Structure formats: C-alpha cells, structure tokens
Amino acid sequence: MPTNPVLPGFHPDPSVCRVDDAFYLTTSSFEYVPGLPIYRSENLVDWEPIGHALTRESQLDTRDARASGGIFAPTLREHEGTFYLTSTNTNGGGHFVVTADDPAGEWSDPVSVDAPGIDPDLFFEGDTAYFTYFTTDTDRGIEQAEIDLETGELGDRYTVWTGHEDPHAEAPHVYERDGSYYLVAAEGGTHTGHSVMVGRGDDPTGPFEPHPENPILTHRDDFYRDVHAAGHADFVTDADGNWWLVCLGIRPRGGFPGWHHLGRETFLAPVSWADGWPVVAGEEIPTEIDGAALPGDTAPANADPSPVEHTDTDFSGGRSHEWLYRRTPDRDRYAFTDDGLVLRGGPETLDEPGTTLLCRRQTNFDCRIRADLAFDPDPGEEAGLALVMDEQHHYEVGVVGGGTEGGAKGEPTAVVRLTIGDATDVLAREPVDERVTLGVDAAAESYEFRVDGEVVADARPKYLATEVAGGFTGVVVGPYAVADGEPAEATPARVERFVYEPVDR
C-alpha cells in the first residue's frame, strides 16, 4: 500500500498541477542549485525527477545566499499550454515568474514582479491572471492584484485575507469549484502549530468567509503523532474529478518533543466536499494511502526506489537530477568523466560557502551510503563524504594529506570530524591507501562512519536537526574536496562510484 511521505527528505512547500493524466510538482529549493526541482507522476505517489526550472546563472545566483535563503515557496500552474512557475528569490530580486512549454525542458529567464513578501500564487480566470502573495505585514496580510505575465506589472493591490486565527497567514492559493472561489492559506507558523485554513467567496478577489471547521488540516493537537507541522497545502484534481492536496510535514525522532533532520517533506491526502467546503478525512495526513482511490496505474505505489531514494552511479552519464550544488558552483571544480566524478578542492572548507561539494538529499532514516575514492593528497588537501545541514552543522569522513607543508609527503589518513556550532571534534584517524571506500550507515538516531568497511566512529543525527541548527532545509550527503591553494592546482579527488540505498530494519 502506498505510504506517506510521497516525496521524502527536504521537499518543502509543494505545489502541484495536472495536465491530462500527468501531475507535475515542485518544491522550495533555498540556496541549492539547480533551483526548483520538477517532478512528474501519473498516480500522485510515484514521483520521477524530470529537471529543474532554474538551471542557469541568468536565472539564479546563490553565491551570496545565507543558509536557508535563496528560493522560497513556489506555485506551479499550467494555462493554455504554457507552464507558469512563480516563486521568491529572497537573496535579491524578490518575486518572479518563469515559463516553459515543456516542464522537463528549458525554462525562461525570470520576469520580476514588484511586490513585497513571499509565497506568491497564480490563478487564471479566463484572460485574467491573479497574483496573490503574503506581504509579511500583519496589517496588510495576504494581498492580491491582477498581473500582466509578460511584463510582471501588477494592477491595483488589495488585501484578501488577514488570517482566521493568525495574522501571519502564509502560502495562499486560489481555486474555483462549481462557481465558488476558495482561498487556502497556512497559519500557525511553519513548525508544530502549522495548519491549513480555507475561505470561500463568490469572486476570486473575495471577500472570503472562513470555513466553519477551520483548520481543515493540522497536527498541532497531538504531539505524539508520527507527523508534525502539517501545512502549506496545494490542491489538485485528478482526471475523474477527485480532489487531493499535497502539503509539507516533518517526521520527528528522539521521543517527545523530538527533532527532525531529513527536513520538511511532501505528503498527500485525499480531499472530499461537504456543503460546499473541502474536508480532509480525520483532519490528518494518512500514514497509508488508499491505492484503489489513486489515479493512474497505482501498482508500483512507491514500492520501488526511484532516483529520489536510490542512487548507484559512476558519474559517467553526468549529473543526474537528484544531484545538487550547495550554492551556485564554480563548475571548473567538477568533471564528470568515464572514470568517475573528479573534484578539485579550493580554499573553502565545509565551514564556509563555496565549498567543492556535490550532494543529494538524505531521504531515508535508514540508508547505506558509500563512496569509492581515489585520492593521493598533498598536505593541506582533503576529500571525502559529507553530511551537511549548513556551514555550522556538518559531519564528514574524509581523507587528508599527511606530512607538512613544504616537507616530505606522508601517508594519507582518513578522519571523522563533527562540526556542531562553534565546536569541531575529530572522532577517528585511520591510515588509508590511495584508494579507499568511505561510508555512512544511517539509522533514525545514529550515523556509523566506515572506512574500508570497518566502523570507526558514530554520531547522532540530532545535531544536524532543524531544532539544533535552525533553517528550513534538511541533511544532504555527498562527496567534497578542499585544498589550500587554487582549485586548478589541487590534487584531483576521483569518486569512482557513489551508492545511496534505503535499508529495511
């Protein structure tokens, strides 16, 4: 039976649309590049990564983005054969709209929209497009205006919602059903108080009366649920007219009140209607999803690992869609060859932006991660396998050069290092050859670090969790490289194979 989350690991603020029998979904990407991942599904549970909307520096440059800065919550819509994606670059530029004829292909350069706040939405009514957004001003609340999508110019702005329970109402989306218009918004913050509110009106501009049973979805009433922070919902209909919502949630570990390190994930729930209002059964996200109710071919039903949850690569085919750079990269530091991924480190360590790092999301509590590394470092050089939340919270098992600067070259050494806030600790040192397999065996409350198959150290994921590190993302994992000097002069570190696979426990 299909289970939630349908997109595990760091996939927050989902937005979804349907064209014929296919669904398309995107999520926030923050400082990571490429930005705004695009997924495709025919049954709402098996999501195939098909590309990103922001792939060029002319669209996105996050070199100066803070941790959990960059690209915030998007809205994805299709209208008369064109896909529209709007979001906010909090690193500069604000709201924007990009378009594509094929969501798996190239998207346009951004068209800027001059409006305050975050969380923009697009709603189409005939030839009119409405732009709705959260101002971050409690007096103005959620505003709306007509938009010229070719220029980004807005018409007169007006407030449509100031919150049902909370003036900090976010994540607006507008829909039409049977001649009525619905505004869906998130209230209660983005953590354990998160909730989904609904208003209804006779016009897309409002006014919107609150749902009599608001909130229609929240997990704030029971901290012992498996899923917390349910909210930031987007609705979609399938080809049979059934309604669904996708939303974000977190899966805490470590007992009450818990902590989460995989990030905010994408969940699915069915929506029914009663007296002209949307209803979520049980007002909660189901752990298991009724496969018979899903659209399309539901036989696989997220049982077989997709690239989202399984990677086994020698990198000869280049960078596949699950791989990310932590910020806009210096691409000269990365070479995808028939012999593997060749990294050249620069002076930036994992404590700093700009590190040579290629990563993918950790999407499973229980997983096995391995990197076969060929590396003969000089003193001051390092390469290996890192688990990263941000520059102040990361773990790594890496190979460092032996000897002293200007002296005789020594034997390379594998080290396990933890950085938590201002503290850094080395847990293990092991001599290694020029070829070594570095690994992490992850469980819900532990990481075991391996060097050539042997466990050499362990650590708790808790210290990479949002409750410790802060931020809006989740743990990513992948190979990195560091060198004292210029990357062009650095000893190349070659990752001959990388494996990420879920483990049943």
CA angle 94, 98, 103 (to 5 degrees): 140
User: Residue 348: in which H helix or E strand, if any?
Assistant: none
Q: How far apart are CA 395 and CA 365, in angstroms?
A: 16
Identity of the amino acid at 134: F
Q: What is the CA radius of gyration of the chain?
A: 23
Give how far Cα 177 sits from Cα of 200, 245, 274, 461, Å: 10, 15, 13, 44
503 by DSSP, 3-state: which? coil
In the numeric block, the tokens 């409750």 are attached to: 467
Active site residue 170: yes
In the numeric block, the tokens 């990361």 are attached to: 394
Prior bond of 207 cis (ω within 30°):
yes
Q: How far apart are CA 46 and CA 455, in angstroms?
A: 34
Q: Are 88 and 97 in contact (CB under 8 A)?
A: no
Active site residue 150: no
Q: Are 334 and 315 in contact (CB under 8 A)?
A: no
Q: In 10 A of CB 220, how many CB atoms?
A: 18
User: Residue 468: in which H helix or E strand, if any?
Assistant: helix 466-469
What the block records as the tokens of 216 is 């229609």
Of 119, 170, 234, 378, the catalytic one is 170
- Give catalytic residue positions: 13, 170
